[in-house]
């Protein structure tokens, strides 16, 4: 009578025993690499050929016409501030200075005599030994000659300044890159005698087609390499864009530093 209960108990025990099987382990997480996707500007690289020059260049010239008698510097020479660059024949300016100085000396002598006469008239007027008219005349003469002396002094200063213009000196350190006249030539005021590259930064200058200037980026990063040594490289931005002075008109000149 108790056998069925024993059988059911055995089945339940078998069932419970079957539920105790081990659970398979979960797979481990594997590391991955995340890459951020960004939009970048795409375009064709443009290669241009230009030249490197000093950032600041100056043309040294005389302020007056004359015959150049000396130019002791040549291309490649390094100049110091105040160094002699060229000299004009100063004969005309020296003669003008001597004339102005002689005129001034003559007027100063006349002024001394007129001043003595005025002083006498002033003393005589105090005691009533001269008339007011003679006193006024002597005073007017002194004032007139004094004005002439002032004008003569100004002429002397002008003549000295003109004489100083016959000497051309470097106003700042730099290197001579070109010259425009030889000793013995008659040069005009403003004519380039020596071109000087100032010490300091350098620019890479290129002729850029107008179409590229219109369609290119506004502030591009420019990579620069020397033609004879591509390992020498530099990078910079466009510092100045200027139209070309010479044809063709559809080109412009850019200075990239």
String of DSSP letters for 179-226: E---TT-EE-TT-EEEEEEESS-EEEEEEEEHHHHHHS-SSPEEEEE-
Closest to 202 (Cα-Cα) out of 47, 56, 75, 60: 56
Tens digits of per-residue pLDDT, 6-32?
A: 444 444 444 545 445 555 554 554 554
Neighbours of 195 (CB within 10 A): 19
**Residue labelled with tokens 């150049």:** 68
Q: What Cα–Cα distance (Å) separates residue 70 from each residue in 81, 83, 86?
A: 18, 13, 5
CB 116 within 8 A of CB 78: no
Domain 91-164: give its CATH architecture: Orthogonal Bundle (1.10)
**pLDDT on residue 141:** 96
CB 88 within 8 A of CB 68: yes
Most confident of 140-144, 214-218, 247-251: 140-144
Reported pTM: 0.63
Q: Does domain 63-88+170-199 have CATH number 2.40.50.140?
A: no
């Amino acid at each position: 009578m108790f056998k069925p209960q024993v059988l059911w108990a055995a089945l339940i025990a078998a069932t419970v025993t079957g539920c105790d099987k081990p659970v398979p382990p979960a797979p481990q997480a594997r590391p991955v690499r995340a890459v951020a996707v960004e939009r970048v500007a795409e375009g064709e690289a443009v290669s241009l050929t230009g030249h490197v020059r000093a950032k600041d260049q100056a043309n040294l010239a005389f302020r007056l016409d004359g015959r150049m008698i000396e130019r002791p510097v040549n291309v490649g020479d390094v100049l110091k501030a105040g160094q002699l660059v060229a000299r004009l024949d100063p004969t005309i300016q020296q003669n003008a200075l001597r004339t102005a100085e002689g005129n001034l000396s003559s007027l100063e002598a006349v002024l001394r005599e007129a001043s003595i006469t005025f002083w006498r008239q002033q003393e005589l007027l105090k005691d009533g030994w001269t008339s007011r008219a003679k006193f006024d005349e002597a005073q007017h003469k002194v004032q007139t000659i004094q004005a002439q002396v002032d004008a003569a002094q100004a002429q002397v200063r002008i003549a000295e300044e003109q004489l100083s213009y016959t000497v051309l000196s470097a106003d700042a350190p730099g290197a001579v890159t070109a010259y425009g006249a030889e000793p013995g030539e008659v040069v005009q005021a403003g004519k380039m005698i020596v071109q000087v590259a100032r010490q300091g930064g350098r620019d890479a200058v290129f002729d850029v087609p107008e179409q590229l200037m219109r369609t290119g980026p506004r502030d591009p990063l420019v990579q620069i390499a020397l033609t004879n040594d591509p390992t020498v490289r530099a990078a910079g931005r466009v510092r100045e864009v200027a139209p070309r002075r010479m044809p063709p008109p559809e080109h412009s000149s850019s200075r990239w530093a």
